[in-house]
Structure 1
């Protein structure tokens, strides 16, 4: 019982102190060892726990996912610096026309995120365009974070089949799946999240405007005026995004599949094709897209080397943060007290889909990270869920999609790093904008998850 209390206190402190702004790089190892000390008492071997459990899990996660973090960040930076991201957003906003401002920003964000551009780059790219459109239409600025969230922080991050975001890559080695797992469930979830988000924000903005609320007075706003003279064409900007999706699909479905590619040699490396094929497909697709982006924008990228370097450096914090959370989870898993917690999670339902949905969502909420929460949950219980699914005749693809959709719910509570950063970039506070952002990124995705779970239990894949 003492061990369980130690774990609960450790998790509570992780959530609270992360919200207070202390980096998880410091929190994760300290609080993991705290839990080990409370649970193990005088028998706790703290240094061995740190080097042989925490750091081993940390390194294992880096080994599996660092290439995706790295290449995704570089690709996003090149799309930003070349003006490609802005070109896509501007073209869509012009095509949508007056009265469709919220729709155009949501679609632009969805295209960029689905194409592999990182969430933060999307926010930076869309903000000046959203400001311009909102001012002209008289829409309150406080709705911009939620508007960006519709396209960038929901279905394109977790549900839409084929998305190259890290959240969709994490389940692949656990379940032997690819980025296009459970396409029907993913498409249904995408429609619900996109439609629900648009309906919510459109209704809310119209009510606010009807009461006389306008864009608002924001004296500290410092938005650089857009210069469209040197932007690439819409078609040219879209090519790298299309390449990511098409190449990833071809490699996943027609190359790295049983009978199409001989991966027998991988047993010499201690792995199998089903565990790495999805990652390989995504890595190759991103590399090709990066090269093409540079070629198409060689005149606009005044210093491609600088863009690549900045993107690479920017990826480090994200992957190290998540690796630290995974290390934390593995230490917790090793403690005797965790058996009680594990049994409680598994005891919620005999259906592994329901248990997985709850564990991923709760851990994402505690850590304030979709990727971190899912990584911990699958690292601890992934094999258990897979074994149970196989016994019950559930397709592993469904496990994959439920995990990704579940990670995009409670992760966006107020202490989430992306939420805090997005509000900061927009120059808005939690009080001004979180009610709408939270509804779009927490409430609607959780409702979507419930619907998808019902459909999954009915056999929809």
Structure 2
């Protein structure tokens, strides 16, 4: 019991101190110490093996994605291509629809296979242009990114290539398009709630007198440029289109998802460099800054994953899993509840699903539940509590946007925690009532 209380207290420390502006590394080391002491774990082993295995494992698994994404974003930014894309969206949809365009652009990219860690780099310059033109407070971008990248395109739409949709298929033997009609209805439900909330927040912020602001210390010259000096829309969009097409087209050719993303990012970067060669005034600086930016960007997620790995090796985590396993409830209820709780503790939808299905997979298979419906429900549930303040994706997104938990987590939390939570509760209840 003391260990479980310590685990809950550690997560509260992460959440509260994150709001106070404490960065991820000292935050996770302190919260980790609470878990270690209350679970009577060996301090040296916990930090040197558990914490660092998670930290280094995430770095090893994702650094090349961060590096290639950061370089691609820098080339697009320095060449003016990203700004040109932003202005073209303004021409097509109007500056009054800036929130909708960022929301949909992010959704299209993630449904096309671009991960959350990549899409932030790709969309940031577009956000800066659209939000500047529409005079939308930059902190609302946290909600737009969350809504587009970590909700219905990640968990709900049939065929999503994101891990949260792939993992249930591996364990339950269901297709990626599991329960297509049910999935589409749930996705529409989420989309309506998400966009209604974002529009409400935009109106509320405007009435409060808030305006757009650049990231502190950012070089704003690229956004104040004469539009006649920007590259053509075709040359600007082409690398982005090629990136999406390659990720979709090569899924069956390159099995390694990381290799696929890195290869696609590299091709898109080379293409952008060739197309905009004369516009890149200091090519070496673009390369240096682009690649080196990946290190601080990946540091916070590494620390959070390190904490999650330490937690998974604690006795209290084992006890919580055993407690969940003792639930004698409808499989849809136990499945969604178990997945949501574990995802919340680990701060990861894919991690929560992996652990939940490793533990309860056979039980689910023999429960008599409709496995395709179960697939969809637990995927949506995984995408709810995974985005609590201690989630690695939250730290990354806020750092890239130049924001903090105190000013901006509310937008991300409502779009990626509250609305998915409402969705899986309502749809789980509906499935049970209908007797499916």
Indicate how the Cα distance of structure 1 residues 146 and 37 shifts in structure 2: closer, same or farther if over 3 A, else same.
Answer: closer
Displacement of 1:340 in angstroms is 1.8
CA contact (8 A) 2:156 2:379 kept: no
**Over the residues paired in the alignment, what is the CA RMSD in angstroms?**
4.5
Whether 2:298 is the aligned partner of 1:322: answer: no
Structure 2: how far apart are the matches of 1:72 and 1:160? 25
Displacement of 1:152 in angstroms is 5.5
Displacement of 1:91 in angstroms is 1.2
Tell me which residue corresponds to 1:133. 134
Structure 1: how far apart are the matches of 2:331 and 2:293? 36
Tell me which residue corresponds to 1:70. 67
Whether 2:384 is the aligned partner of 1:383: answer: no
Indicate how the Cα distance of structure 1 residues 387 and 93 shifts in structure 2: closer, same or farther if over 3 A, else same.
Answer: farther
Give ranges in structure 1 of 5+ residues lacking alignment.
257-275
Indicate how the Cα distance of structure 1 residues 380 and 332 shifts in structure 2: closer, same or farther if over 3 A, else same.
Answer: farther
Indicate how the Cα distance of structure 1 residues 308 and 16 shifts in structure 2: closer, same or farther if over 3 A, else same.
Answer: same
Whether 2:36 is the aligned partner of 1:36: answer: yes
Which one is further off, 100-109 or 78-87? 100-109
CA contact (8 A) 1:69 1:315 kept: yes
The TM-score, its normalising length taken from structure 1, stands at 0.70
Tell me which residue corresponds to 2:81. 84
Displacement of 1:71 in angstroms is 2.2
Tell me which residue corresponds to 2:47. 50
Indicate how the Cα distance of structure 1 residues 99 and 39 shifts in structure 2: closer, same or farther if over 3 A, else same.
Answer: closer
Which one is further off, 374-383 or 124-133? 374-383
Displacement of 1:405 in angstroms is 6.9
CA contact (8 A) 2:120 2:400 kept: no
Displacement of 1:111 in angstroms is 4.9
CA contact (8 A) 1:329 1:380 kept: no
Structure 2: how far apart are the matches of 1:277 and 1:219? 40
Whether 2:256 is the aligned partner of 1:277: answer: yes
CA contact (8 A) 1:35 1:332 kept: yes
Whether 2:329 is the aligned partner of 1:331: answer: no
Structure 2: how far apart are the matches of 1:456 and 1:288? 45
CA contact (8 A) 2:154 2:160 kept: yes
Whether 2:246 is the aligned partner of 1:247: answer: yes
Q: How does 1:292-441 map to 2 (within 5 A)?
A: 292-347=271-326, 357-358=336-337, 361-362=340-341, 372-374=347-349, 376-378=351-353, 380-381=355-356, 383-388=358-363, 402-403=378-379, 406-407=382-383, 411=387, 416-417=394-395, 430=407, 438-441=413-416
Structure 1: how far apart are the matches of 2:424 and 2:362? 22
Indicate how the Cα distance of structure 1 residues 320 and 201 shifts in structure 2: closer, same or farther if over 3 A, else same.
Answer: closer
Tell me which residue corresponds to 1:6. 6
Displacement of 1:188 in angstroms is 5.3
Structure 2: how far apart are the matches of 1:90 and 1:328? 41
Give ranges in structure 2 of 5+ residues lacking alignment.
none
Indicate how the Cα distance of structure 1 residues 195 and 219 shifts in structure 2: closer, same or farther if over 3 A, else same.
Answer: closer
Structure 2: how far apart are the matches of 1:112 and 1:391? 37
Displacement of 1:295 in angstroms is 1.8
Structure 1: how far apart are the matches of 2:70 and 2:431? 33
- Output one character per residue of 1:268-299: Cα deviation in whole Å (capped at 9) or x when no partner: xxxxxxxx633332232222222222222222
Which one is further off, 139-148 or 104-113? 139-148
Structure 2: how far apart are the matches of 1:66 and 1:397? 35
Which one is further off, 348-357 or 8-17? 348-357
Structure 2: how far apart are the matches of 1:397 and 1:293? 42
- Report the secondary structure of 1:52's partner residue: helix
Indicate how the Cα distance of structure 1 residues 239 and 9 shifts in structure 2: closer, same or farther if over 3 A, else same.
Answer: same
CA contact (8 A) 2:387 2:413 kept: no
